[in-house]
Amino acid sequence: MIVLGIETSCDETASAVSEDGKILSSFISTQKIHKKYGGVVPEIASREHDKILNQMVFDTLNDSKKSISDIDGIAVTQGPGLTGTLLSGVCFAKGLSLGLNIPIIGINHLEAHIFANFLSDPKLKFPFICLLVSGGHTQLWHVEGLRKYKLLGETRDDAAGEAFDKGARILGLGYPGGPEIEKNAKMGDQDSIKFPRPLMKHKNYEFSFSGLKTALLYYVNDGANKKTSDIAASYQYAIVEVLISKLKLAVENMNCDTCVIAGGVAANELLRNIVRKFLPNTYVIFPEISLCTDNAAMVAYLGELYLNSGEKTAIDFKVYPNMKLV
């Protein structure tokens, strides 16, 4: 089966083509226009998707050596995300589905991030623990199969990615915050400041990053005399240490020998470098960097799984900005 995937949940416009579980082509365009605003402006993001999506799909099909008539089905992100940007992709996908008379499947963005790990390691087997960590979500999942997910715990307030973005803003760094914090942290000493690790010693799977963010704000406002690089490194280390400690707890308690990391924060180099030191007896999988951020390859791959199983979505389906995985 050949599936066209479309992703427009936020500020990345993406399309991909999959065939029999393999990605033939994948294109991503990140909207740099938001940098001057210090964050994503939803209305602008929607217009930017509408400008380039048609040409991007055309280019993706050309690159995959497929024509529009070869497509057997369409997978498109249905949620979660920004309402307007989701509608850009869904309306485009619906038009293609009707015009070509082929099935369409609405895809949960979070679920697609989890399954991106199968593209990086096709030998990945169920069950496994997934740390899903992004700008909008920080969650631990026990994954037993397709549609078989148990939420172990999640953040009580800010997501880890949000903590990176807000931390970068406090430090006067650029947008997006995660890469800026990481870039500065490489020149700093991660042990120079002992920021709090909220809930880290609690024997549950919950996270909290709002207190850490506030601690950073107070530290900076109190006239900190440390270099920005040292502050960034210490702040990043606090976030990563909390993430790994909770992941380790879940792996041990659920008696799982495999874990995967998913979402935009999975691209963080410090997290990727030290997680295996904390989990030496666990098989740890990270997606390729291009599969950590929002992309259509994961949407096409997951969509193909569902379409092959006979599932499809009615053409009048809605978008769900706050869509849950279960």
For residue range 6-64, list pLDDT tens digits in order.
Answer: 999 999 999 999 999 999 999 999 999 998 888 899 999 999 999 999 999 999 999 99
Q: What is the pLDDT of residue 175?
A: 84
Q: What is the pLDDT of residue 225?
A: 77
Contact 321, 85 (CB under 8 A): no
Average pLDDT over residues 113-140: 96
178-231 pLDDT, tens per residue? Answer: 999 999 999 999 999 999 999 999 999 999 999 999 999 999 998 777 899 999
pTM exceeds 0.85 for this model: yes
Superfamily of domain 128-255: ATPase, nucleotide binding domain (3.30.420.40)
- Average pLDDT value for the chain: 96
Q: Count how many Cα atoms sit within 13 Å of the Cα of residue 180 in the half-sphere of its side chain.
A: 19
Q: What percent of the chain has pLDDT over 70?
A: 100
231-281 pLDDT, tens per residue? Answer: 999 999 999 999 999 999 999 999 999 999 999 999 999 999 999 999 999
Q: What is the pLDDT of residue 139?
A: 98
DSSP 3-state of 273: helix
Q: What is the pLDDT of residue 138?
A: 97
Convert 120-145 to b/e letters by CB count within 10 Å (16 or more is b). Answer: eeeebeebbbbbbbbbbbbbbbbbee
Give residue for tokens 């702040």: 235
Q: What is the pLDDT of residue 176?
A: 85
Q: Indicate the CATH number for domain 2-113+292-308.
A: 3.30.420.40
Q: What is the pLDDT of residue 140?
A: 98
Q: What percent of the chain has pLDDT over 90?
A: 94
Output 226 or 130, whichever has higher pLDDT.
Answer: 130
User: Where in the chain are all domains bearing CATH 3.30.420.40?
Assistant: 2-113+292-308, 128-255
Measured CA to CA, the distance from residue 8 to residue 46 in angstroms comes to 8
Q: What is the pLDDT of residue 62?
A: 98
Measured CA to CA, the distance from residue 319 to residue 307 in angstroms comes to 19
Structure tokens at 290: 């291009």
Average pLDDT over residues 166-170: 94
